[in-house]
Amino acid sequence: MSELKLYTVSIYTENNIGLLNRISAIFQRRHINIESINSSVSEIDHVSKWTIVVKLSEEQMKKIIGQIEKQVEVIKAYYHTEEETIYQESCMFKLRSNLLFDERQIQNIIKESNANIVTVNREFFVIVKSGRKEELELLHRELSVFGIMQFTRSGRIAVTKDEMKISKMLEAFQH
Binding residues (CB under 8 A) for another protein: these are 13-14, 16-18, 21-22, 25, 29, 62-63, 66-67, 69-70, 72-75, 170, 172-175
Residue 54 near residue 28, CB atoms below 8 Å: no
Instruction: Output the smallest distance, CB 83 to another protein, in A.
Output: 24
Residue 117 near residue 126, CB atoms below 8 Å: yes
Instruction: Output the smallest distance, CB 158 to another protein, in A.
Output: 21
Instruction: Output the smallest distance, CB 26 to another protein, in A.
Output: 9
Q: Nearer to another protein by C-beta: 38 or 67?
A: 67
From residue 59, alpha-carbon distances to 24, 47, 79, 131 in Å are: 19, 28, 12, 29
Instruction: Output the smallest distance, CB 56 to another protein, in A.
Output: 15
Q: Nearer to another protein by C-beta: 16 or 116?
A: 16
Instruction: Output the smallest distance, CB 64 to another protein, in A.
Output: 9
Q: Nearer to another protein by C-beta: 55 or 63?
A: 63
Q: Quick one: CA dihedral 10, 14, 15, 21, positive or negative?
A: negative
Q: Nearer to another protein by C-beta: 16 or 150?
A: 16
Residues whose CB is less than 8 angstroms from the CB of residue 117 and which lie 6 or more positions away in sequence, other chains included = 110, 125, 126, 127
Q: Nearer to another protein by C-beta: 70 or 165?
A: 70
Q: Using DSSP, how many helices (H) and how many strands (E) does the chain show?
A: 6, 9
- With H, G, I as helix, E, B as strand and everything else as coil, classify residue 106: helix
